[in-house]
Amino acid sequence: MRLKLKTVFVLYFLVSLLGLIYALMQLGQRCDCTEHDAPKERTISRLRGELRRLRERAKKSEVAGQPQIESSPPPTIFVITPTYARLVQKAELTRLSQTFLHVPRLHWIVVEDSQTKTPLVGQLLAQSGLSYTHLHVATARERKLQEGDPSWLKPRGVEQRNEGLRWLREDRGAPGDRRGGQSGVVYFADDDNTYSLRLFEEMRSTRRVSVWPVGLVGGMKYEKPVVEGGKVVRFHVGWRPGRPFPLDMAGFAVSLELLLANPDSRFDGDAPTGFLESSLLQGLVTADQLEPKADNCSKVLVWHTRTEKPKMKREDALQAQGLGSDPAVEV
């Protein structure tokens, strides 16, 4: 009996010893791992240090009785894009949507010139990854350009831009609903232009109406407001510089607050050619209130590019033989 007890003790001792040796070996390996993880450890301790400093700063400003500066979120940019069905529509909207994906706090308002919302645009928006609103309004018959009409004959996209403004006023302008004091900037972006990402950060600080140069427009290399002493004094344009606001649609942005404060301001589809932009802006600002952006209007950040209308001669010929492209493939 006694002997057996002794054996048990010896066995217990041996097992414990083995366990201890094993644990020590593990400890040694851990040491190697720690060395391996050194950069991570350093990052963690750096972040801890930063957190501590921030906490101390927060405490200090509380002690000093300073109100915590609650910086309001940067304004949202509401981009209103009129669009209409044509062969290049999907390509144009894809390109535009992928530019906008790079712009933070942007809400895209796409207004189709059609009797209904089309599945092509609906699906493109749903898959875009953007925050968006999908609207539609068909242009009145007498306002529509006919095949062969020159594009300057009647302004395109008037009803659609006004529909975008109507939505903004309804959705964002409801009394009591200021979305937590959210401020906004409204920009009219046609689907064929080319936009630098920098343009959106320039317009984000718009207080009333901001302006900048537009490249490749009006038969010129660029049109731009001429700035002297930080103020717009005249306009460098090739045609009728005497218009109230000789600006291209792509050359200005308006603060949402200003649009909400002027509920009747809109584009006038009956305005003479070249006066469409003026018809909106006239009721909102005076020329000396315009805020020049893009380094005092010295940089071109948007281009009035035009996509060529694709020729369908061979498609038409093949279709006549019943060999046309599969209409089920969306282009």
Ligand X SMILES: *[C@@H]1O[C@H](CO)[C@@H](O)[C@H](O)[C@H]1NC(C)=O
CB of 296 to ligand X, least distance (A): 4
CB of 188 to ligand X, least distance (A): 24
Nearer to ligand X, 50 or 295 (CB): 295
* Active-site residue, selected from the candidate residues 112, 277, 308, 330: 277
Contact 108, 93 (CB under 8 A): no
How far apart, in whole angstroms, are the C-alpha atoms of residue 124 and residue 119?
8
Q: Which pair of tokens denotes residue 321? A: 């033989």
CB of 243 to ligand X, least distance (A): 24
Nearer to ligand X, 77 or 232 (CB): 232
CB of 217 to ligand X, least distance (A): 23
Q: Could you tell me which residues come within 8 angstroms of residue 17 by beta carbon, excluding any fewer than 6 positions away?
A: none
Residue count of the chain, please give it: 331
Residue type, 240: R
Counting runs of H as helices and runs of E as strands, what totals does the chain give?
A: 10, 12
Q: Does 229 bind ligand X (CB under 6 A)?
A: yes
Number of residues that bind ligand X (CB under 6 A): 4
How far apart, in whole angstroms, are the C-alpha atoms of residue 254 and residue 180?
20
Contact string 183-222 vs ligand X (x = CB under 6 A): ----------------------------------------
Nearer to ligand X, 295 or 316 (CB): 295
How far apart, in whole angstroms, are the C-alpha atoms of residue 325 and residue 159?
34
How far apart, in whole angstroms, are the C-alpha atoms of residue 157 and residue 137?
10
Contact string 269-288 vs ligand X (x = CB under 6 A): --------------------
Residue type, 109: I
| Secondary structure letter of residue 272 according to DSSP | P
Strand partners, 209: 254
Nearer to ligand X, 114 or 296 (CB): 296
Task: Pick from 296, 299, 315, 324 the residue near ligand X by CB under 6 A.
Answer: 296
Nearer to ligand X, 229 or 242 (CB): 229
Task: Pick from 295, 310, 312, 317 the residue near ligand X by CB under 6 A.
Answer: 295
Contact 211, 175 (CB under 8 A): no
Residue type, 189: A
Q: Does 233 bind ligand X (CB under 6 A)?
A: no
Nearer to ligand X, 41 or 228 (CB): 228
170 catalytically annotated: no
Closest to 79 in 3D by CA, of 60, 96, 57: 96
Strand partners, 222: 215
34 phi, psi to nearest 5 deg:
-55, -45
Task: Pick from 219, 230, 242, 327 the residue near ligand X by CB under 6 A.
Answer: 230
CB of 252 to ligand X, least distance (A): 18
CB of 278 to ligand X, least distance (A): 25
The footprint of ligand X (CB under 6 A) covers 229-230, 295-296
Active site residues: 277
